[in-house]
Amino acid sequence: MVVVVLEEMRIRSLGVIDDAVVELSPGFTAVTGETGAGKTMVVTSLGLLLGGRADPALVRIGAGKAVVEGRVAVPPGAAAVVRAEEAGAELDDGALLISRTVSAEGRSRAHLGGRSVPVGLLAELADDLVAVHGQTDQQGLLKLSRQRQALDRYAGDAVAVPLAKYTGAYKRLRAVVAELEEITTRARERAQEADLLR
């Protein structure tokens, strides 16, 4: 089972928050507090780190930009690590450093592992990093990919080796199918070209 832990999040100039550091521990499951304590801004910050929409109205009045930074401990070989490394990001002591800046003018920037990346990449990684649930977020359970992940996690080590073999075989199958489609397309194009030359 892959365990990913959001260890720390720093929030600056976002809504009611001037500057705050939120330190989290394994097993953290809920944000609670009194009205006006900043729960919404903490969840909004997490949403920004995970590629959510950036609204310049979130920037604290009088500040030029809002900044959210997060440190996510991820084991080597996890899907998020592989995807991040493909984008040129580097791990820092087994953790991904994620940063999102939103200017008061509406410009947004994202950084992952020290590299500037498209915000869309953060959104791609979101499912592998953190699960944020609101009152209607159970809809995510309707996604087949989420259902498979839940079953695989539940089965644990008993299916890890067969799952890895299946995943490898499936990737090879997709590569062969893609190659076959390319060969078929080229053959069809050659046949059409031969017909034209006759």
State which amino acid sits at residue 85: E
27: nearest Cα among 2, 3, 1, 8: 3
> Is residue 1 predicted with pLDDT exceeding 60?
no
Cα 35 to Cα 94: distance, rounded to the nearest angstrom: 36
59-72 tens-digit pLDDT: 999 999 999 999 98
**What b/e sequence results for 112-136 when a residue is b if at least 16 CB atoms lie within 10 Å of its CB, and e otherwise?**
bbeeebebebbebbbbbbbeeeeee
Is 151 or 28 the better-scoring residue by pLDDT? Answer: 151
Tokens 């489609």 locate to 181
| Residue 64, beta-bridge partner list | none
pLDDT of residue 42: 87
pLDDT of residue 93: 87
pLDDT of residue 19: 94
| Residue 19, beta-bridge partner list | 12
- Cβ neighbours of 65 (radius 10 Å): 18
Cα 143 to Cα 148: distance, rounded to the nearest angstrom: 9
Domain coordinates in residue numbering, the chain? 1-132, 136-198
> Is residue 31 predicted with pLDDT exceeding 60?
yes
pLDDT band at 135 (very low <50, low <70, confident <90, very high): low
pLDDT of residue 134: 64
pLDDT of residue 3: 66
> Is residue 115 predicted with pLDDT exceeding 60?
yes
Six token digits for residue 117:
């990346």
**Residue range 80-108: average pLDDT?**
90
**Residue range 125-129: average pLDDT?**
81
> Is residue 87 predicted with pLDDT exceeding 90?
no
DSSP per-residue letters across 33-44:
--TTSSHHHHHH
Residues 6+ apart with CB under 8 A from 141: 147, 150
Class level of CATH domain 1-132: alpha beta
**Residue range 112-118: average pLDDT?**
91
pLDDT of residue 128: 79
pLDDT of residue 102: 95
> Is residue 116 predicted with pLDDT exceeding 60?
yes
DSSP per-residue letters across 162-177:
HHHHHHHHHHHHHHHH
154-190 tens-digit pLDDT: 888 888 888 889 889 999 999 999 999 999 999 999 9
3-state percent helix, strand, coil for the chain, nearest multiple of 5: 45, 25, 30
Residue 88 — φ and ψ, nearest 5°?
95, 5
